[in-house]
Amino acid sequence: MKKNITLIIVTLLLVLPCMIFASPFGKTGTAALQFLKLGVDARAIGMGEAYTAITDDISSTFWNPAGLAPAFSNEVFFSHTNWPANIMHEYAAATYTTGVSTWAAYASVLHMDDMDVTDEESWGPTGEKFTNSDMALGIVYAQQFTGKFSAGVSAKYLRENLYEYSVNSYAFDLGSMYNTGWNNLKIGMALKNFGPDIKYKVDNDEDGSYDEDPYDLLDNDGDGTIDEDGSELESKIPMSFSLGISGDLKRTETTHWIASLQLDNVIDRMETWNLGTEYKLGNIFLRGGYQLNYDTTGYSAGLGWQIPTRFAVFNIDYAYTDMGKLKEDFLSSAHRVSIKMKY
């Protein structure tokens, strides 16, 4: 039975990406819910997001659900990111494990400060304020099927608020992890954000109805104007497929040096190659990474500190990402801080 399930999962992971990305390459940034692309966990970001084949803790809820199994401790995780333009991203997760299988729940929120509503004639502020936000709430299940193979699946509720408009949707993630057993060489695959297209509902004439007259035939509210509520166009969500490989360059009881290479294919941009490495010396971690063929970020770097206590093991991590022309100075670039507690 387990062999059949494993075969089905592997087949899906290999075939679905080909189906998804078989159509011609779409325009960059045209997918909705762009916050789903924003990586979490300072450890992963410090390694250039080359993390699909490395992830082995609670941040697997974002990167690859298969990384949650096997697990022998429960975990709690919080990540905070400061983006340029005073945009902030929060991510929190918690797990419950039996050793072989693991359940997790997580929440992701992108938010920003209030902004002025601008009058379209004078281009000046009206005195009103508005804000935008995105949210994802999900549950994850992962299981170890053999001593070398594990797989996981995630389901999530999605919501985006843009001024007076909002949209609700859902999506799924599917992942696998295979450890060859040689120098901890692992192959990880993840299909993320597999879900339906979304469509905003805009009530332009404020009569409580949407898309009343998409064919320009009727004056629905009797004001002498037709087609005030035109048909809204559907937008795809940023489905992606990641294939990664990682392994140990060195490992002892107190140190390790690992490296990772990953290919990312997202529906609304060109493929990117990610390189990452991590060196551990005692309880200190040094990390570096680089993303190739990506127009806004290049190199990244990070630090980590592990703190064992009587009731839990804490990992405190920091990562810096170069934002290229989007940053004005070091402080205005992307900074991430994350905390993990294993108990």
Identify which of 254, 259, 248 has the alpha carbon closest to the alpha carbon of residue 306: 254
pLDDT higher than 80, residue 152: yes
Percent of the chain with pLDDT over 70: 78
pTM summary value: 0.83
Between 86 and 8, where is the model more confident? Answer: 86
In this predicted structure, what is the pLDDT of residue 154?
Answer: 98
Percent of the chain with pLDDT over 90: 58
> Which of 22-36, 134-148, 226-240 shows the lowest mean pLDDT across its residues?
22-36
Average pLDDT over residues 173-181: 96
In this predicted structure, what is the pLDDT of residue 336?
Answer: 92
In this predicted structure, what is the pLDDT of residue 166?
Answer: 83
- CA dihedral (55, 57, 60, 63) positive or negative: negative
Q: Tell me the CA distances in angstroms from 139 to 21, 61, 242, 320, one per residue in order.
A: 26, 8, 20, 28
Identify which of 328, 239, 218, 322 has the alpha carbon closest to the alpha carbon of residue 34: 239
pLDDT tens digits, one per residue of 252-303: 988 999 999 999 999 888 888 999 999 999 999 999 999 988 766 678 999 9
* Element spanning 312, H or E: none
**Dist CA 166 CA 187 (whole Å):** 38
Identify which of 244, 207, 249, 251 has the alpha carbon closest to the alpha carbon of residue 229: 207
270-278's contacts with Cβ under 8 Å and 24+ in sequence apart are 270/25, 270/28, 274/48, 274/49, 274/50, 274/244, 275/48, 275/50, 276/46, 276/47, 276/48, 276/49, 276/50, 276/51, 276/54, 277/47, 278/43, 278/46, 278/47, 278/54
- CA dihedral (7, 13, 14, 16) positive or negative: positive
In this predicted structure, what is the pLDDT of residue 227?
Answer: 55
How far does Cα 194 stand from its chain's mean position?
12
| Cβ neighbour number for residue 311 with a 10 Å cutoff | 6
Q: Do residues 267 and 20 lie in contact, with contact meaning Cβ atoms separated by under 8 Å?
A: yes
Residue with tokens 């969500």: 237
In this predicted structure, what is the pLDDT of residue 103?
Answer: 97
**Dist CA 81 CA 92 (whole Å):** 12
Catalogue all structural domains in the chain, each as residue range(s) with its CATH number: 2-199+234-342 (2.40.160.60)
**Dist CA 62 CA 56 (whole Å):** 12
In this predicted structure, what is the pLDDT of residue 12?
Answer: 47
The set of residues, in sequence order, having a beta carbon less than 8 Å from that of 189 and lying 6+ positions away, is 13, 14, 52, 64, 175, 176, 241, 242, 243, 244
